[in-house]
Structure 1
C-alpha cells in the first residue's frame, strides 16, 4: 500500500497553492483503477466525485481522504474502473431498439433516394447509439477493490500536493518580495509623518501670531491647540499597527494553511493605510499610500490562490 499523502515535506510548513493536478493508475489483475484530480481556488473546501455507482458506498471514505490533506479549494475527482476479466462483463443487446433505428435508416434512404452505405458501417453506427448495447460489470464491491481505489486516490493526491507545493513556493516568493516593498513604503511614510507633524506645528505658531500676539504668549492655550492639531495629524498609532500587521503577515506565511488569515490581515492593512492618508493631509504621504495600496492589491491577488 502507498503512504498517505502529507500536507508538506520537511520540518516546517510550506505555502501551498490551491491550483493542482494529480493522476494515478493501478490494477490488481481483475480491475484497473484510474484517478484524476483537479483543484482550483475556492474560499472553502468543495469536493465533487465522478465515479462508478458501485463506489458510492465508499464516497465518505474517499472524501475523508481528500479532506485529510486539502483544507481549501474546489476539488474535482474523476475515478474510472476498467474490468480486466472479460468474463466479468455482461453485454446486453437491445434488439428492438436496433431494429427501430435500422428501420428509420431504410425509410430515410427511400425518402432521400440516397445510395445505401455499406451495411457494416450502418451496423457500427447504430451499435454506438446509446442503450443499443449496454455493459454490466457491476457486482458487490469487495474489500480488496475498495482498498485499491483508496490507494490510487492517495497516490493522485500526493501528486496534487507536489504540484500545489511547487506553485506555492512561487507564490510565497512573490508575496515576500511585495511585502518587503510594503515595509519600505511604511518606513518612508513614517519619516514623512515626522516631518509633516513638525511642519504643522510651525504653521500653527505662525497663524496664531498673525491672529493675536496675546494668544502666542499664552503658552498653556498654545499647548492645548498644538496637542489638538497633533492628535488630528498624528499617525503614530496607525504606523505601530502597520508594523504589527506586517509582522503577523510574515508569521502567518510560515504556517499552513494560511490563506484565510492572510486575507483578513490584508484588509486590516488597507484600513490602516486609508486612515494614514486621511489624517496626514500630506501630498507626499498620500502618494506613498497609493503606492502601498497598489502593492497590497498585488498581494491580495496572490493570496487568493494560497490554501
Structure 2
C-alpha cells in the first residue's frame, strides 16, 4: 500500500532558540509503494547510522507489507553551514571569559571566529541524535499509518464493489446450466429419432441411450459446485473486509481460489454466454488480486 509522511524537529535547541538560523534540524521522511512483502530501505547520514537497528525494529513493528524507504537527515541551518550558538551558550562563554579575565586582566576577549569554533565543539555528538530520531520516527509513523489507513478505506470500497459484481455474474450463470442441459437433451433425442428413421432399431433402446447421453452431458457441464464455492469465497472476503486488521495474506489466498473456480467454470462452459460470464469474472478477480497485494 502506498503512503507518505514527513516531519522535522530541533531537539538540541532551547525553547527560545528553536528558530535560530544556525540550529541543527533533524528531518525524517517515510514513503512506501505497493509490495507483497516488507522491503525496507534506510537512507541515513553517518551521524545517524547508529540508530539503524532500532529504526528497522520500529518500522517492522508498524508495517507488514510494501516497499518502504526511510530517509533521515541533519540540516545545518545558516550561511555556509555555520552553527550560530544560542543565547544561553553565548551567555556561558561570556561568563567563562569574565572569570578568566578576573584572574588574568591582560587576557584578550574571544573573537567571533573563536566563539564559533567553541560552539562547533559543543555541537551534538552522533549518539545524541539517536533518541530524538527515534521519537521523531514514532511521530512520523503515526502520520504514515493514518495516510495508509485512508488509502485502505478506498481499497476496501473498491473490493466490495467487485465482490458485488461477481455475485451478480454468478447469479446470471446459475439458470444457464439447466437451460443448456435441456437444449442438449432435445438435440440428443432429435438426433436419435433421425437415426431411427434412417436405420431400423429398437426405439426404446435408442431413447434410453439418448437420455443416458443427456445425463452424462449434464454431469459434465454442471457448475453448481463451482458457483457454490465461489459464493462461499465471496462471503469470506466480505467477512474479512468487515473485520479489518491484517487480512492481506488471507485475501490473497481467497483471490487465488476465486480464480480457480472461474477457470473451471470456463472450462465446463457449453455456451458462449457462460464463457463470457467466466471471462468477466476473471477480469474482476484480476483487478481484486492487484489491489489485495497492497493490503496488510
How far did residue 25 of structure 1 move? 1.6
**Residue 245 in structure 1 maps to residue 233 in structure 2:** yes
Larger Rg: 2
1:76 aligned partner: 69
From 11, 23, 28, give the equivalent of 2:11. Answer: 28
- Cα distance in 2 between the residues matched to 1:202 and 1:219: 11
1:287 aligned partner: 276
1:130 aligned partner: none
Does the aligned pair in 1 maintain the 2:65–2:294 contact within 8 Å? no
**Residue 49 in structure 1 maps to residue 42 in structure 2:** yes
How far did residue 244 of structure 1 move? 1.7
Aligned 1:141-180 pairs, distance under 5 A: 141-142=127-128, 145-180=129-164
Deviates more, 1:31-40 or 1:245-254: 245-254
2:174 aligned partner: 190
How far did residue 206 of structure 1 move? 2.6
Distance 1:149 1:295, change over 3 A: same
Q: Any idea what the Cα deviations from partners look like across 1:188-210, whole Å, max 9, x if unmatched? A: 01121222222222322332333
Give the 3-state SS of the residue equivalent to 2:264 in structure 1: helix
- Cα distance in 1 between the residues matched to 2:203 and 2:158: 55
Does the aligned pair in 2 maintain the 1:19–1:41 contact within 8 Å? yes
1:264 aligned partner: 253
- Cα distance in 2 between the residues matched to 1:67 and 1:166: 20
1:94 aligned partner: none
Q: Larger % of helix: which?
A: 2
1:117 aligned partner: none
TM-score normalized with structure 1 length: 0.70
Greater relative contact order (Cα < 8 A, sep 6+):
1
- How many residues were matched structurally? 242
Q: Any idea what the Cα deviations from partners look like across 1:59-117, whole Å, max 9, x if unmatched? A: 111111101111001111111124686569xxxxxxxxxxxxxxxxxxxxxxxxxxxxx
- Cα distance in 2 between the residues matched to 1:243 and 1:208: 39
